[in-house]
């Protein structure tokens, strides 16, 4: 494997949507609440969204239904979106039971919107979900005034490069992913 491909894979893995979401949830929860709130929010997000998506990814690759865990082909995306949207709906229902975590409600609604938009445009454009969730986490944390947002901002160009170097996306798909993520962050924090 060429060195460029190896580096691109590592960047893509380290800035994976699961990682970006986990960082965003923990930092936002700490901003709005306590460590216990952050732990509870992270566990809820992991249980309702990340775990079902991870299981789907593993099963689809093992069955040979997907070429890789990124769901890189357009035809692989619909089931990914369905599982993601159902998981977010479950997270939203769960979060209503914990009023102290209203940030989780806003985040779930904003992320539902982000995934819905990405799903809707998939027939024409395979939006980079890595960039969408990277930009969502980055913009959200920057708007909250977190220094972690600045760290993520430095990572974003490397993430864009990695998606292109791995030939998972075209430049337009990377750009739309970034714009969709920023838009979702603005929607979440303006509500």
Mean pLDDT confidence for 29-33 = 91
**Do 116 and 154 touch, CB atoms closer than 8 A?**
no
**Do 27 and 148 touch, CB atoms closer than 8 A?**
yes
Residue 15 has pLDDT above 70, yes or no: yes
Count of domains observed in the chain: 1
Q: What is the DSSP string of 138-187?
A: HHHHHHTT-HHHHHHHHHHHHHHHHHHHTTS--HHHHHHHHHHHHHHHHH
Residue 1 has pLDDT above 80, yes or no: no
Supply the pLDDT for residue 69: 87
Per residue in 33-92, pLDDT (tens digit) is 889 989 999 999 999 999 999 999 999 999 999 988 888 888 999 999 999 999 999 999
Supply the pLDDT for residue 101: 67
Per residue in 77-129, pLDDT (tens digit) is 999 999 999 999 999 999 887 766 678 889 999 999 999 999 999 999 999 99
Per residue in 121-175, pLDDT (tens digit) is 999 999 999 999 999 999 999 999 999 999 999 999 999 999 999 999 999 999 9
What crossing angle do the helices spanning 35-45 and 102-121 adopt, rounded to 10°? 30
Distance CA 84, CA 47 (A): 12
Distance CA 165, CA 112 (A): 29
User: What does the buried/exposed string (b/e) look like for 167-182 if buried means 16 or more CB atoms within 10 Å of the residue's CB?
Assistant: ebbeeebbebbbebbb
Residue 182 has pLDDT above 70, yes or no: yes
pTM higher than 0.85: yes
Distance CA 51, CA 55 (A): 6
Residues 6 or more apart from 177 whose CB is under 8 A from it?
118, 127, 128, 129, 130, 131, 132, 134, 135, 169
Provide the residue range defining the domain that includes 18: 3-190
Supply the pLDDT for residue 100: 63
């Amino acid at each position: 494997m060429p060195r460029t491909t190896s580096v691109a894979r590592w960047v893509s893995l380290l800035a994976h949507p699961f990682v970006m979401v986990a960082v965003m949830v923990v930092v936002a929860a700490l901003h709005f609440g306590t460590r216990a709130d952050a732990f509870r929010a992270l566990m809820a997000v992991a249980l309702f969204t990340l775990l079902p998506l991870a299981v789907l990814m593993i099963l689809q690759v093992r069955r040979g239904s997907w070429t890789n865990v990124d769901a890189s082909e357009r035809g692989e995306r619909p089931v990914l979106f369905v599982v993601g949207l159902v998981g977010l709906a479950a997270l939203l229902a769960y979060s209503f039971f914990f009023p102290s975590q209203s940030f989780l409600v806003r985040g779930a609604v904003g992320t539902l919107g982000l995934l819905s938009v990405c799903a809707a445009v998939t027939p024409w454009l395979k939006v980079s979900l890595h960039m969408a969730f990277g930009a969502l986490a980055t913009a959200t944390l920057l708007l909250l005034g977190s220094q972690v947002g600045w760290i993520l901002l430095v990572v974003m160009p490397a993430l864009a490069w990695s998606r292109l170097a791995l030939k998972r996306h075209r430049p337009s798909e990377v750009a739309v992913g970034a714009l969709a993520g920023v838009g979702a962050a603005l929607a979440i924090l303006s509500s």
